[in-house]
Amino acid sequence: MRFYQLPFFLPFLYPNRLWNGLVSERKISLTFDDGPVPGITDWVVEELAKRHLSATFFMVGDNVRKHPALAQTVVAAGHQLGNHTYHHLSGWKTATQTYLDDVASCDAILGDTVGEKSRFFRPPYGWMSPGQAKGVAAAKKIVMWSLLSYDFDSGLSSENLIRRTTARTAPGTIIVFHDQQKTKDQLKKVLPHYLDFLVGEGYTTQLLEG
Ligand SMILES: [Zn+2]
């Protein structure tokens, strides 16, 4: 086999995930839930741009309706959008059809605003019923996480969060932050340090696949 043939054969023989792992081992996925929110989401986009990093933003449909230009800014900057329901519904408290209709409403506003719905979905509060999950998974990839930033826990110091997130980051990590009002103070203290850590440790970011 001639050497130049290798790149043609390997993608057929191995699943995408393994192929990407061979290309680069120090990649993680940054994810931000609950935006877009002015003064926070745009700040996140700037912090990412300074370091040439990319992320996936799981947006709430009603926030996209209120701030369409901000959703467009995120996409124009090369980031990826995910569906996080229209009303940030709790699966626990919501009937299955209502839940699925809300996911479809989020798709519709994303389609109207940025021209395409997302293939990716993350359930608010990290939970949905088996029936809801089955309905969503018929059309989307459900994305959970391997590392929570705990930016939503105001009882923890930002130093603690920085220590914890940097210590637990490894190739393939999917980390969750929140670009919303309740977490913005903690996010603005923690995120620049975490992104500097990624760059300093030679990590790059990858968008979701599937
Ligand atoms: Zn959420």
What pLDDT is recorded for position 89?
A: 97
- CATH superfamily of the domain spanning 30-205: Glycoside hydrolase/deacetylase (3.20.20.370)
Asked whether 175 and 147 are in contact (CB, 8 A), the reply is yes
CA of 124 to the centre of ligand 1 (A): 4
Residue 146's pLDDT is what? 86
Residue 75's pLDDT band, with cuts at 50, 70 and 90, is very high
Q: Model confidence over 78-117: pLDDT tens digits?
A: 999 999 999 999 999 999 999 999 999 999 999 999 999 9
| Sequence-separated (6 or more) residues with CB below 8 Å from residue 45 | 73, 74, 77, 79
Q: Give 148 Cα–ligand 1 centroid separation in angstroms.
A: 12
pTM comes to: 0.88
State the distance from the centre of ligand 1 to the C-alpha of 194, rounded, in angstroms.
20
| 152-164: burial string, b at 16+ Cβ within 10 Å, e else | beeeeebeebbeb
CA of 199 to the centre of ligand 1 (A): 27
CB 60 within 8 A of CB 204: no
Which DSSP letter does residue 80 get?
E
For 153-194, how does the pLDDT look when each residue is reduced to its tens digit (9 = 90+)? 889 999 999 999 999 999 888 999 999 999 999 999 999 999
Helix, strand, or coil (residue 27):
strand
The pLDDT tens digits of the residues spanning 139-155 come to 988 888 888 999 998 89
Q: Provide the percentage of residues in the chain whose pLDDT is more than 70.
A: 89
Domain chopping of the chain, boundaries: 30-205
| Ligand 1 centroid distance, CA of 34 (Å) | 5
CA distance 102 to 154: 29
Long-range Cβ contacts of 155-163 (<8 Å, 24+ apart): 158/186, 158/189, 158/190, 161/186, 161/190, 162/190, 162/193, 162/194, 162/197
Return the higher-pLDDT residue of 2 and 27. Answer: 27
Ligand 1 centre from 180 Cα, in Å?
9
